[in-house]
Structure 1
Amino acid sequence: MTARDWSGLDAARTLRRPTADDDKYSRGVVGLRTGSTRYPGAAVLGVEAAWRTGTGMVRYLGPSRAQDLVLQRRPETVTADGRVQAWVIGSGTDAAERDAPETAALRGILNGEVPVVVDAGALDLVPGATAPIIVTPHAREVVRLREALGLPRADAGDDDARERAARETADAFGGVVLCKGAVTIVAAAGGWSRRVSNGTAWLATAGTGDVLGGVLGAVVAGAVAAGGSSPDDLAACAATAAWLHGRAGTTASLARGGGGGPITALDVAEALPEVVAALLGDSIA
């Protein structure tokens, strides 16, 4: 069965406009344990995207160089450990370079109760994890993740094949798979699946996956703060984050030429407030 497309109206139902009764905690707190000495920019991009999506607070824990760059860009970021409603881990890291203390810290997050967005260098830790998990692999990472889960190599041909592979992978670890691509596939254990295809080919550039991780962490933290943490809730968050990311990429590209021009990952993050505002204003169908 082919999944239906996730629309702006679907995304709008997942987001919540803050009210006069909200504070930074009730709007959602997202923690990022991302970036590395080699790739510190991933931390900056993820943190920027989380703030621009509309979270109440961002906590960042990472290497000192990445932390310094995060604070230069976003001084409102909290760099002390504490309570969060969602984690984002792995962006801008390499499992081959991860030391034992970092591995232990990540395993602690992955075996907790808070939902975790798992990207890039932390995907190898997904098998056996017990927290609610959303993985965000690209095509090559899907292959490696399936190998780690003991699944056969999947046909990476058309979108129907990708959807079947995403569903099977989600069932294998009991979470949500957001498979990045020109058409993004979101699948949850149990059969829930959607497609998101509102982006631009200009999004195929370095760092946009780090931005997506930050967007997703913010959306999940907000949903958890509002009481939505079921598997289907988290799947809806993943599809909404992909929709916001795709629309922000398109918005940024169109601002750089009538037919759309080249963009950077930071351009995508900076376009997010406009996209969120339009979505919550019911001006996008």
Structure 2
Amino acid sequence: MSAWLEWTDTDARSWIAVPGPHDDKYSRGVLGVITGSVEYPGAAILGVEAAHRTGVGMVRYVGPRFVRSLVLARRPEVVTQPGRVQAWLVGSGMDAARRSFVLVGELTRAISSGEPVVVDAAALDLVAAHTGPTIITPHYRELASLLAKREIDVSAADIAADPSGWAVRAAIELDVVVLLKGASTFVADPVGQAIVVRAGTNELATAGTGDVLGGILGSLLATHASELRTDISLLAPLAATAALLHGRAAERASGGGPIAALDVAEALPAAIATLTGRA
């Protein structure tokens, strides 16, 4: 494994696609989203909001009618009909123990579609079905649970004590890119890339901010979908860029005070403008 590379604004800048005069909603990327539930509808709203504010061309949302209505009330530009998708964000805001047969099928089809996919929360146990560029975004407890299913004896406390080491081991074991969330974010892939992101504020330790991170990352995968089809080594830098953007938006939203997850999503355009020199 290579030494850990600390990701900076300069590193991230080149991974943010700035639209040109000939771009349209399809060339900017279409993100399919299967998140949220009747019990946790906010995850869908937050992820969709963050994806739009990161610069994706279109979001297609798949979910319960009640959740769709809330998503559309917040973001009326969301499309809820089937169609072209260039990347997927799945699993946030769901209870794995309460997934229906239909939902498991939808999640599995997305993960096995061959398109780039961000797998979070209640879809993590389905990650073995992946066939395309795949990133998982667990916190310590989720990663411990996922590895336990593969008969690896590890606790959340073990991972918290050595997050970088466990990020690397999980990436190799699962053959995916791992973005391990925490005060520092560790990104590792199976072929040796290792990136740490220290941007952000401790105020990010609040409900829903992980859903915002998922939307940012899904958007970046969709905007780079064509490159990812031929070079999956781009996944780790994109994941690190998502984490850095998440942190920079949180810093801007906080100003030294408390924040809520939606504040972070709303701060993304200004954070991106500053990072890309357009502010």
Shorter chain as denominator, the TM-score bin is: over 0.9
Greater mean alpha carbon deviation, residues 90-99 or residues 163-172: 163-172
TM (normalized to structure 1)? 0.93
2 CA distance for matches of 1:149 and 1:188? 18
Counterpart in the other structure of 1:35: 36
Counterpart in the other structure of 1:257: none
Counterpart in the other structure of 1:124: 125
Residue 258 of structure 2 is aligned to residue 262 of structure 1: yes
Change (3 A) 1:28 1:262: same
Aligned pair count?
275
- 1:152 Cα deviation from its structure 2 partner: 3.2
TM (normalized to structure 2)? 0.95
Indicate conservation of the 8 Å contact 2:114/2:130, yes or no: no
2 CA distance for matches of 1:244 and 1:148? 32
Letter in structure 2 aligned against 1:179: L
Q: Give a deviation string over 1:114-154, Cα, whole Å, max 9, x none.
A: 01101111111113432321000001001011112333316
What SS is found at the alignment partner of 1:127? helix
What SS is found at the alignment partner of 2:14? helix
Letter in structure 2 aligned against 1:265: A
- 1:228 Cα deviation from its structure 2 partner: 3.4
Q: Give a deviation string over 1:157-188, Cα, whole Å, max 9, x none.
A: 44xx2111111111112110000000000001
Q: Give a deviation string over 1:225-260, Cα, whole Å, max 9, x none.
A: 4x2342321111110000000110111001xxxxx0
Residue 21 of structure 2 is aligned to residue 14 of structure 1: no
Counterpart in the other structure of 2:174: 173
2 CA distance for matches of 1:47 and 1:90? 13
- % same residue: 51
What SS is found at the alignment partner of 1:101? helix
What SS is found at the alignment partner of 2:80? coil
Q: Supply the RMSD in Å over aligned alpha carbons.
A: 1.4
Greater mean alpha carbon deviation, residues 126-135 or residues 168-177: 126-135
Residue 94 of structure 2 is aligned to residue 83 of structure 1: no
Counterpart in the other structure of 1:272: 268
Letter in structure 2 aligned against 1:217: G
> Which 5+ residue runs of structure 2 have no aligned equivalent?
none
Letter in structure 1 aligned against 2:270: E
